[in-house]
Structure 1
């Protein structure tokens, strides 16, 4: 056998273009060989390569796949699309602008590398190149930096002033520290000044606000693709008045820009800011080679059709006049002229007739390699292919998995065909090493097959089929449900709060109070008759948010009366009874030995691996929680809370698989017939490779079919039954029910809920919900039910942009058009069957070109099913419907929902309805229409405000808590508790309930008279606060005070101290004393010292009845130094202060504590 010498030379060697006149054409580039050829050329070519793809999707794929084949020092730049429609009312996301500006800045400086962009993106006109150069500046350590001048410069460059920097284009100033998140930067920076000199620049984590590393300089790009300098605004105003008719004062965009504000959709007025615009090619180095993909001319023609159509549709609005398309976009002919100035390569995946400058590459199509689990030999195709290629001299194979986890799975599969590939770090390592069969991590989908030299790169997708995989977050974190609730909303002036000793009052803000020798901050609380109390920030543990009924009608207590004590006493008695009832259920669940499921490792592993998506971290955690519950002796009662489409059903399917493998039956309870059918088909698909019998019982089955299903269920012939509330009826009997899965419990009535409750003690129950109702949430937080959160969005899922707007035919037309033009579908929800047909007729008038259908719950079941099926298959693109869609089938192409009279819906329902859209990777939109903003009730206004503010993904849990705050905490255990909760607020109610439950669990009576989580009081007689000039933002100070009050050990205080220094600079004495006071509180708490009180001459320690100090040492101290130490009664020690300075006081206290331990 001849030894084949393996070297790190690419197996594809494309010809290098020599001049502008040298036009090349590459053919037969199949699969990922195009990335391999381009990356090889990039290393040899004298100048950068610009890849022009026909669409955004192919540009994004190349941006992912090219780094795998390229050397580490090859720059790969992406110029992304705005992802808005022509003449859109929306501006691109800050992260998109950030990447675009960074690419434009780097282009003129690029001597080699690869630039990727889609054709429609390159047809947009851009700001002149000098705009970027003039508005970019470098800031270095040691340079002079005038705060005032640079603040103006940042505002002119489009940066927004905020309290805390979180996103690109933001800055914040706190004294001599400036935080800024420059465009094009992976992290924000913290710039520290001394006088007017930069003394330090550190990158920091926007999540934790903690510094990451020191750097010497930072580059500040402008924050927008247009300037907001005074000169640019003047130019914009003059250009507007010269170009457009009508009164400019009636145009909101004109007014906003005149005031220096960044208006939404302003990008389509770019020519008004400059004398002339330029193109992407104005930024390109002259020696750039342009690589042209197929179908570009067709795509350009379609793009221009869309632009002209939208221009004609929108140009008649005099308050928003439009620039003609020719001023904003290049024609394809103009683009051709720009390209002619560069060397060109056209590429094709099909073979071409070879002439001068044309070459076909030695790539081939793969034979089918898909693993067929239903076949008797699932791996036969792959095994034969591997045998053929490795039998050829020098034949080599590289398998590619997308993640470490997937690599392990792939390795297990390959062992089935006696193949053990060698793990290689990357493509270059594989080329350099003499590896016949390798395995690496790469984001490839299509693979490469070369005939000369014989080489195959095989991707996961070729073996397992197309999979949508989860984009890995840079930082994965587990979300604590209690933390979410604690940090949900900041305290605003006027909000009601509960002081455990004084009752419900209203928060009026933080106030600094000075006495002769000290200064401290206090919360000002207002009570009935305008009486006020001042609570030191060190006592924040006594305060909780009032989350009861409508906050504006919170029952303020009268100070000095016994009203609050009576309310507390009554509530405590009631809470004790509630806790006893809760514990009765809890103890029955704990005592009742449920079925202990065993986990069939091999079968379960195969089932889990067959999931066509990659599990998100939260999903994996939820599945593991369920496995632990099911394998324990007690019955499971777990709530899985996750937004619509976040993968709760897969958790349920895996639980069902375990139950069935243990010969138990599974019931899946859903609120609607349509959902029952979708679940039925989804379960059938998921269990297709397993001998599991699945059935659905609903109105869509005939009477005879239902009778047969009922009989087979009782005989144990059906493993999984899916149905609506009929499943809970008395005539449904199971042979051996082991698991009940409840989807959206809040949609069921009282009778059904009681039936579910009766099953809890002896059947494992798994409840799935996007927005838990208050009762469900209360139960979970009270520790009676277990809770798993799924807050990580699935792959390619974007948050839903949400707008609250008065009813407007113009807005409705625009919203439907913008969705239909990108091939999407729209729900128009009008929840009144009587006027639904009339609403549909109005819509036909507003947008006659839409293909409209109607759906509501009073239709015949089969008619409704047909309409939904036709809508799913895109026969219609506008569905006028009622809330029948709330728990409906998934339609990935429906990405806009318009909800008429949104003020009439509850928060949980609005969230569920909004979750109907955004099931794909497209940006989704929700329009909440109201009759008149001023006519809204306060409650409705709060609901709409809450849902429009929380448009992030995974906020269902937060919305449920908002719902508690808005409408009162509702029912607990099915009994109304709203009276007590209205009186004392949900937070305190829950805290008292937790105390009652834990006390009764421990076999003692609840101690309500003692403040919960009581801590020692410390009054050092010195100034202890965060000065306003140190932390200027009131909310930030309040949050920091709260965090300090919640610190449980010295380590946490030290971490907070480091954070303060990092974010705000060196600690001033008052802040230093505040932290020392907090540390003393922890020590005193541990030793049983209730209170430390320090005056100018004397100090006092007030002890508990059983302090944890050494009493012998205390007595000795008093006896040996009677002039300095004196006992006052049984529980107090007085001591003389030798020096009244703050430092001396602290030293005296620490020394005394040391002597008493």
Structure 2
């Protein structure tokens, strides 16, 4: 039995219960399970399977939860007794136990390479380019990657003639080897179902189940009192009072992450030195009075909707995703064509190499351990590949260096001026800062925490910040910006948040108001929604009574004056025009600037990738987020009717985007004819602000099934119940616009759909854009789309003096 670090004290202080019957209220089943761990491995049958599975695995390692999809994995663990706790529902007991015929592969054994590949195919394994999921295998020379069902990580099998010379586990994301192993058992992907059930098989193990009203029916058992920890509703004062009443108790607080653990220590350790704060997970805390044990969780204190972080996080595509024919750049030899991977034998050693072709069919072979010198080419496609003739690439690099010398000097002067400019250095985090961050109702991803730390370091430096925060739609950029804004306000400075649309400004306003309501921070909105209060807002802003002002380009007007502006946050920077950016540029010398985008404009991205702009990237999706399924269709009344009704019938709502105000009324009539049974609201930029606000509010409150809108909803509108979007004339939109529009759906755990309506004939460039959006529909594709935009459009005149 493997207990997660620091939590053994909890398990030790739960009294032993020998009965198998317990009261219905959760966490009774959890406590009984923890008290029975000496009998490990242990099986638990409960209606609360999901909750118990998460809670137990927050304290123990090797916890399994049975489902129809992982019967082989669970059956293999049962046969090998390689688990601490198996959690099942009563229905799971009837699942047939699979017949496990496995093939053990050992290092050093004789095994014909072709026989092994045939075995994998016969057992239902799917051959792919790279192994990512269970049940897949890939072949590269004498190396076979396979992800066996029943295993938690894939395996790399290396052959030399017909001998298995190496077995290694590897990371399916980075494709890098992790550790060597001696053997692995391969099971069929879809095994034959046996005649016995899981219910019959687990009888040989100690097990417990639900029912009745007593904890223990056995004579020697002991009934003990426990209570569920109360909800404190983010009230630190009330929580501290409760801790004082538990004098003499051993008190644990479980935090969701190392960063949260440190924050809680700073908030509570001085006042309660005996409090034990450990990293772990439980859905609710409990108090056992007999053994004077109290365990509290973030759910008890903050009401957080915590989810355990996935082990494998989705990142942008690694170098290994290069396809044959892609252009690549080698540091020493220049631009060539990637022709795939080959095994090269040098003496007695075989090494895997990337093959790159240059002009006149010359080739170089790059060993995997020198792959860091190779990168995918980003730029226009019509470029000549380099020659390997002596000195050609070096001369070309020298000419480029000469041509950019002058502009590089000017850029250097600009950034030197910024570094030398007397910026304001923020103080280290205050107690209020730590308390505000602790009240965030979700668990931050590692990328979010890294971005927050990078921005805080910039803010605490004595020169102005200029950083681009690039993160997928809905990946948590707003929370990062909010923490930066609060930090600046804590030092008496003001913050301006610039958005491209009034709707996005309003959404940010409500988010900031709600998160900061417990603190003495005044947040105001300046947009056409606040016309009647404009004079008062402008006066209070100039006199310093407003801490955070949120608005559109109206904030750049000459009559908007600040008492002490410290930070400008620009959301969706690619949506602002040239004149607006010129005004923003003047701010950049003196104040901190944070730009945010899911798909930055090519020039901004190029500057960031080149190191001219500081750059933070959020690549990890929130737990439960699914990719949006994207389809390209032609206008068809029957298909449109089916798509809308399917979403409405599952209780959802639909965005229908038509970006021409002149003809939007005609489209509304068409839709009313095609789907007369649904209610349709219309939104566009020429509507009066109160009318637009009413329509949006009605859609949010589900008074409309379909919102027919222009691209006004592109930026930032967050309506989790809308999970289908139909974009009419999608070929008329840019890559970034299409990606932003698609980002309006898929903001809940429910599967989301995006339909791009295009004509049968369109220009080549438009066709490329639309098919790129369909191709890059996976989670985290925004950064990839921005890079593709850079390839298709080029970076613009990035080195011209007018830039």
Structure-2-length-normalised TM-score: 0.83
Give 3-state SS (helix, strand or coil) of 2:568's partner: strand
Partner of 1:646: 475
Report the CA distance between 1:643 and its aligned residue.
Answer: 1.3
Partner of 1:961: 787
Deviations 1:688-733 (Å, cap 9, x if unpaired)?
A: 2322222111001134x11111122222222211110011011212
Report the CA distance between 1:951 and its aligned residue.
Answer: 3.4
Give 3-state SS (helix, strand or coil) of 1:957's partner: helix
Deviations 1:793-844 (Å, cap 9, x if unpaired)?
A: 2343333343444555565555545544554433233333344344445545
Asked if 1:103 is matched to 2:74, the reply is yes
Asked if 1:457 is matched to 2:295, the reply is yes
Partner of 1:855: 683
Asked if 1:743 is matched to 2:658, the reply is no
Pick one of 17, 40, 47 that aligns with 1:13: 17
Pick one of 624, 628, 636 that aligns with 2:457: 628
Pick one of 774, 777, 781 that aligns with 1:948: 774
Q: How many residues align?
A: 776
Q: For residues 828 and 650 of structure 1, what CA distance do their matches in structure 2 show?
A: 29
Residues 48 and 112 of structure 1 are in contact (CA less than 8 Å); yes or no, is this contact kept in structure 2? no
Q: For residues 174 and 565 of structure 1, what CA distance do their matches in structure 2 show?
A: 33
**Are residues 178 and 862 of structure 1, via their aligned partners in 2, closer, same or farther at CA, if it must alter by over 3 Å?**
same
**Are residues 568 and 43 of structure 1, via their aligned partners in 2, closer, same or farther at CA, if it must alter by over 3 Å?**
closer
Partner of 1:382: 242
Give 3-state SS (helix, strand or coil) of 1:596's partner: coil
Give 3-state SS (helix, strand or coil) of 1:721's partner: strand
Report the CA distance between 1:546 and its aligned residue.
Answer: 6.2
Which deviates more from structure 2 when the two are superposed, residues 755-764 or residues 966-975?
966-975
Pick one of 762, 775, 783 that aligns with 2:603: 775
Q: For residues 444 and 210 of structure 2, what CA distance do their matches in structure 1 show?
A: 41
Partner of 1:616: 445
Higher-Rg member (1/2): 1
Which deviates more from structure 2 when the two are superposed, residues 195-204 or residues 183-192?
195-204
Q: For residues 559 and 466 of structure 1, what CA distance do their matches in structure 2 show?
A: 59
Residues 322 and 376 of structure 2 are in contact (CA less than 8 Å); yes or no, is this contact kept in structure 1? no
Residues 40 and 85 of structure 2 are in contact (CA less than 8 Å); yes or no, is this contact kept in structure 1? no
Q: For residues 835 and 37 of structure 1, what CA distance do their matches in structure 2 show?
A: 65
**Are residues 809 and 731 of structure 1, via their aligned partners in 2, closer, same or farther at CA, if it must alter by over 3 Å?**
same
Partner of 2:322: 490
Q: For residues 617 and 693 of structure 1, what CA distance do their matches in structure 2 show?
A: 30
Q: For residues 880 and 288 of structure 1, what CA distance do their matches in structure 2 show?
A: 58
Give 3-state SS (helix, strand or coil) of 1:285's partner: helix
Q: For residues 422 and 68 of structure 1, what CA distance do their matches in structure 2 show?
A: 19
Q: For residues 608 and 434 of structure 2, what CA distance do their matches in structure 1 show?
A: 30
Q: For residues 344 and 579 of structure 1, what CA distance do their matches in structure 2 show?
A: 71
Q: For residues 83 and 328 of structure 2, what CA distance do their matches in structure 1 show?
A: 62
CA RMSD of aligned residues (A): 4.7
Q: For residues 153 and 7 of structure 1, what CA distance do their matches in structure 2 show?
A: 45
Asked if 1:876 is matched to 2:708, the reply is no
Residues 313 and 620 of structure 2 are in contact (CA less than 8 Å); yes or no, is this contact kept in structure 1? no
Report the CA distance between 1:792 and its aligned residue.
Answer: 2.4
Report the CA distance between 1:77 and its aligned residue.
Answer: 2.6
Which deviates more from structure 2 when the two are superposed, residues 694-703 or residues 876-885?
876-885
Give 3-state SS (helix, strand or coil) of 2:100's partner: helix
If each structure's helix is expressed as a fraction of its own residues, which one has the higher value? 1
Residues 446 and 459 of structure 1 are in contact (CA less than 8 Å); yes or no, is this contact kept in structure 2? yes
Deviations 1:403-461 (Å, cap 9, x if unpaired)?
A: 44433433444446x433364xxxxxxxxxxxxxxx54431122224465665432222
Residues 523 and 536 of structure 1 are in contact (CA less than 8 Å); yes or no, is this contact kept in structure 2? yes
Partner of 2:139: 173
Pick one of 428, 434, 448 that aligns with 2:286: 448
Partner of 2:156: 190
Partner of 2:100: 133
Asked if 1:409 is matched to 2:263, the reply is yes
Pick one of 43, 61, 68 that aligns with 2:51: 61
Structure-1-length-normalised TM-score: 0.59
Q: For residues 964 and 620 of structure 1, what CA distance do their matches in structure 2 show?
A: 28
Report the CA distance between 1:187 and its aligned residue.
Answer: 1.7
Residues 202 and 212 of structure 1 are in contact (CA less than 8 Å); yes or no, is this contact kept in structure 2? yes
5+ unaligned residues in a row in structure 2: which ranges? 1-9, 344-352
Pick one of 586, 590, 608 that aligns with 1:758: 586
**Are residues 396 and 814 of structure 1, via their aligned partners in 2, closer, same or farther at CA, if it must alter by over 3 Å?**
farther
Give 3-state SS (helix, strand or coil) of 2:795's partner: coil
Residues 499 and 552 of structure 2 are in contact (CA less than 8 Å); yes or no, is this contact kept in structure 1? yes
**Are residues 470 and 109 of structure 1, via their aligned partners in 2, closer, same or farther at CA, if it must alter by over 3 Å?**
closer
Residues 498 and 553 of structure 2 are in contact (CA less than 8 Å); yes or no, is this contact kept in structure 1? yes
Q: For residues 581 and 849 of structure 1, what CA distance do their matches in structure 2 show?
A: 62
Once the two structures are superposed, the pairs formed by residues 40-439 of structure 1 within 5 Å of their partners are: 40=35, 48-51=43-46, 53=47, 58-67=48-57, 76-80=63-67, 97=69, 99-106=70-77, 115-116=86-87, 132-133=99-100, 136-141=102-107, 143-224=109-190, 282-285=197-200, 288=203, 345-346=210-211, 362-364=225-227, 366-372=229-235, 377-379=237-239, 381-383=241-243, 385-387=245-247, 390=248, 397-415=251-269, 418-421=271-274, 423=276, 439=277
5+ unaligned residues in a row in structure 1: which ranges? 1-5, 17-23, 82-96, 228-276, 292-341, 424-438, 513-519, 527-531, 978-1157
Deviations 1:299-332 (Å, cap 9, x if unpaired)?
A: xxxxxxxxxxxxxxxxxxxxxxxxxxxxxxxxxx
Q: For residues 499 and 399 of structure 1, what CA distance do their matches in structure 2 show?
A: 52
Once the two structures are superposed, the pairs formed by residues 1008-1027 of structure 1 within 5 Å of their partners are: none
